[in-house]
Structure 1
């Protein structure tokens, strides 16, 4: 397909709490492509808001650390979707002929504890308002998701705990994961309550870490002996659809016709649907998925939004073992954020790294037999969606 680009390299820095700068983690993630640095025509960096000024110009920060050699440079920020937006920017450069080889890299050095809004007061940012006015930190937001699933679909805290059990079992097999220890449902249930019904082990940590991809045109890959590389076939970065959204709150309060209901389906489902349409595949074609498990309950929601099962059937899919290693459609074979924690600019790139290793048959004990098509999915702040489909 004309929109495909080749994945020549996938690399990662082990995630954890290392106490060093984000650039070091990103540079350490580049060992896989087998190319000389001067062959890279462009660097696209995923920004971090926690790395000082270099974090806001991450592409240039990485290019400087690696050695300036005249490559193009770009930096992108979309919160948790930054890595996928960086992949999309790199793909656009390759398909337009601006560069044959593009390095995509993201890394973060995250503080302990829950993320705070960065950059001072932002009264025009609904997430800042959520934090400051409602007091709804991210774990509270995740708990609202969980409560909704319990009320609407009958999910239970025991279902949520099994997501952690599943992902920890996969993470125990991943040398890049921060947490490489299996856990039991009883350990999840006995961990501290953070935001009812979610407990500490239901929620991902914050981490330091980095991930990188080297992408190229299909022609460049063939010229350099990569006749059948893993290929990125689709990247979705869609926004929600609200045809007549009105942001003037006084008008909404006085005019009941001002707010228009969104179309059927969720924003997260539309992220996946756009990727499926571009790639010419559907949920039935998938071998595996890497999804954004900020909390255990949110992973169950992704099953439905990706079309792996019907609405309200996510917990059943989990109970049946379909999403575990060896199941019909393994989800988060890497161990997910449950095993890695969040290094925000790197995580969507790390998801594509896992797809690449699975499709190359290089995933070791967590290998999905016969893997041929994989999808990633996550959601950044302020309407940033992302999904990537890779094929072998």
Structure 2
């Protein structure tokens, strides 16, 4: 059974300081309107959990269903850090494929604090993130910088290359009405911004934002029967972990004892995500026309281009310098403007990527359209060695 995106909707990203539910309802109603489907016809609501917004955030599926008006729909809630939205989409897709749902609404929304995202207060000695933040002082920009330094050492990347990623994405985001930051940047602007974690500057790193995104999923048969225009096929959803050649069952926490895993992994978990998506969809990386990737930092975008097999290892800088990753180039990356223009609204961002690709594949991305796009892929990094990729096609 083929599952399609019948509708997509978003609430603009920003720092609005309002309840996350308000953003989610806005996005949900926009997605339903786009699909031409009434709320009363929705029989499943999957909410992306947002851990910073109290109990309502922990039961996001129920929260959104209540706010939209109880209609008897079944409820699910997903959490996978930055891969939350893709996992929520996968949950909805699976229930439709199993014949347990006909019309699923997937919603993610967040209200974020100012500054870097950090674990909630309190001592949690079995939480690798808590250990990383509290004991090592490794906030997210610190390990973004390690990724960046690795590219510099292995492939000759420069700070100017990283800055050029920001320049490209800022230019793309100018025409996106949902983007928070709609202002052009220059390489000089990026390099003149404060150094946060060498070699990354402030403008190399995405902000935290409020925002929301939603999609309506139905079967291809349902879409045809109800005359839904321009459905976009969900060709694959991947939320896999890496594969090691030798893994001990009942292994201890890897943050404190890595002896349970030996040998070199078959490939990195980010490569695993892409491979699983391509294999499920029966699509080759060379068929991809557009990509929305997780640019928490500018250097990470370059890694993702290679992880998605859109070029060989060490070639992402060459693609960037040649203009191949900009709109009009061989493989446009982040035509939405990416997190550089949106910032993080954690449970919403993977859904927002799917919204953007839906509009791209329909030819509706006014001002930032990738002409003739028929296949698009997303990528997100979650926590604890997993992430997500969604492949869409027409």
TM-score (norm 1): 0.96
Question: 1:87-106 counterparts in 2 under 5 A?
Answer: 87-106=89-108
Deviates more, 1:149-158 or 1:259-268: 259-268
Q: Please tell me whether the aligned partners of residues 252 and 259 of structure 1 are also in contact (alpha carbons under 8 angstroms).
A: no
Cα deviation, residue 248, structure 1: 6.9
- Cα distance in 1 for residues equivalent to 2:220 and 2:360: 20
Deviates more, 1:42-51 or 1:226-235: 226-235
Question: 1:151-300 counterparts in 2 under 5 A?
Answer: 151-226=153-228, 228-242=230-244, 243-244=246-247, 246-247=251-252, 259-300=261-302
| Alpha-carbon displacement from aligned partner over 1:130-183 (angstroms, at most 9, x marks no partner) | 111110100001001001111111111000000000000001110000000110
Q: Which runs of 5+ in 1 are unaligned?
A: none
| Alpha-carbon displacement from aligned partner over 1:103-134 (angstroms, at most 9, x marks no partner) | 00000000000011026322112121111111
Question: 1:9-48 counterparts in 2 under 5 A?
Answer: 9-29=7-27, 30-31=29-30, 32-48=34-50
- Cα distance in 2 for residues equivalent to 1:331 and 1:145: 19
* Superposed CA RMSD: 1.6
Q: Please tell me whether the aligned partners of residues 243 and 267 of structure 2 are also in contact (alpha carbons under 8 angstroms).
A: no
Q: Alignment length, in residue pairs?
A: 387
Q: Please tell me whether the aligned partners of residues 5 and 215 of structure 1 are also in contact (alpha carbons under 8 angstroms).
A: yes
Does 1:336 pair with 2:341?
A: no
- Cα distance in 2 for residues equivalent to 1:350 and 1:202: 21
- Cα distance in 1 for residues equivalent to 2:195 and 2:169: 20
Match of 1:67 among 59, 66, 69: 69
4+ long deviations beyond 6 Å: 248-253
Cα deviation, residue 240, structure 1: 1.9
TM-score (norm 2): 0.95
SS at match of 2:114: coil
- Cα distance in 2 for residues equivalent to 1:142 and 1:357: 30
- Cα distance in 1 for residues equivalent to 2:87 and 2:168: 29
Q: Which runs of 5+ in 2 are unaligned?
A: none
